[in-house]
Structure 1
Amino acid sequence: MANVFFTSDHHFGHKHIIDFESRPFSDVEQMNEVMIESWNSVVGKDDKVFHLGDFSFLNKEETRNIVARLQGYKILILGNHDRGRTRSWWMDVGFDEVSEYAVIYKDFFFLSHEPMYVNKHMPYVNVHGHIHNQKYEGNHHFNICVEHWDYKPLSFEQIRAAVVASEEG
């Protein structure tokens, strides 16, 4: 059975993100290559990946080349830096599905780029990106930004286990 993964905020081709978020890369080329290798080290060709936005700052051809190198069935939920391009642009570069809006997954995860308000009485965990190295306290938000997870996507099971552990702790 295929695994399902979540990740966000790769910012492929964005030179300044290295300084903004203290990423451990000497240049944008190294950053791009390490992030592609990190993705493929956990995601298999039959797996599904939800990318929660801010994927690439590169042109269409360069973005297409990166998407083609990444394993898995890729679903993009548009982030603030992705919205300057149309849904069809993202499909053309190789994403299998593109959503302009948040998605509810398995009646448990509320997937969005930016953190969303989740009432403590709601049954959801908001898996989100956007805030990079920051984190919200509590059990209702899970920051999937690459900076927190060694630039690797996390599986549904990993996130669910972390959420359950935080509720018990």
Structure 2
Amino acid sequence: MNFYTADPHFFHENILKFCNRPFQTVDEMNRKILHNYQSTVGPGDDLWVLGDLAVCHVNMADRLSEMLASIPGRKHLIVGNHDKPWVRRLQDWSSVHDLLEINDQGSRTVLCHYPMVTWPGARHGSIQLFGHVHQNFPGTRNCVNIGVDQWDFRPVTLREARKRAAGLEVNPLWGQVEPGAEI
């Protein structure tokens, strides 16, 4: 099964106040997010991290690698603006991409750190998953924020993302970028 997440910002002290995260310390935040990943993702699963794994110095590389190794399954990185080259080179990744289109249970799924207005297959039922904007924007009818700040600090399935998308507004630009296409 595929699980999706974004923006854990491991080791980032300032994210606690920037995003009003409900933790007293960054260690508490790290433990909670890591626990949620470990208790959700199974050995045969794939965890897609849509950017901003950690905001820390390279001297934390070993600790970050240990954390990733403790999460079951295969881990994939979709690069975000805070993912330094050394984070991209961690040996724990099964793959690293800037942007990727996958098929998840028959559904065309576009993965990018950033929210998009349109993407391949957008007119034909594909969905785009993103992070980057934390708690500020949940997404639209076919473009869903799967960041930890939107999902109680846990990874989600495509089914959960689609269920949430069904209750979101259609992007007001949709008619301009995909004229005549229904969502």
Corresponding residue for 2:145? 143
Contact 2:141 2:167 in 1 (8 A): no
Q: TM-score, normalised by structure 1?
A: 0.85
The code of the aligned residue for 1:102 comes to L
Equivalent of residue 57 in structure 1, options 43, 55, 58: 55
Unaligned runs of 5+ in 2: 170-183
Equivalent of residue 132 in structure 2, options 130, 133, 140: 130
RMSD value, Cα: 2.0
Corresponding residue for 1:4? 2
Q: TM-score, normalised by structure 2?
A: 0.79
Contact 1:78 1:113 in 2 (8 A): yes
Contact 2:19 2:134 in 1 (8 A): yes
Count of residues paired in the alignment: 161
Alignment of 1:7-156 (within 5 A): 7-58=5-56, 59-82=60-83, 84-86=84-86, 90-99=88-97, 101-106=98-103, 108-118=108-118, 121=123, 123-135=125-137, 138-156=140-158
Cα-to-partner distance string for 1:19-75 (whole Å, 9 max, x where unaligned): 000001111111101111111121112111111000012321121111111222100
Unaligned runs of 5+ in 1: none
- Partner SS state of residue 131, structure 1: coil
Percent sequence identity over aligned pairs: 29
Contact 1:51 1:76 in 2 (8 A): yes
1: CA distance, partners of 2:77 / 2:139:
26
Cα-to-partner distance string for 1:95-137 (whole Å, 9 max, x where unaligned): 11111x2111225221100111217635332200000001255
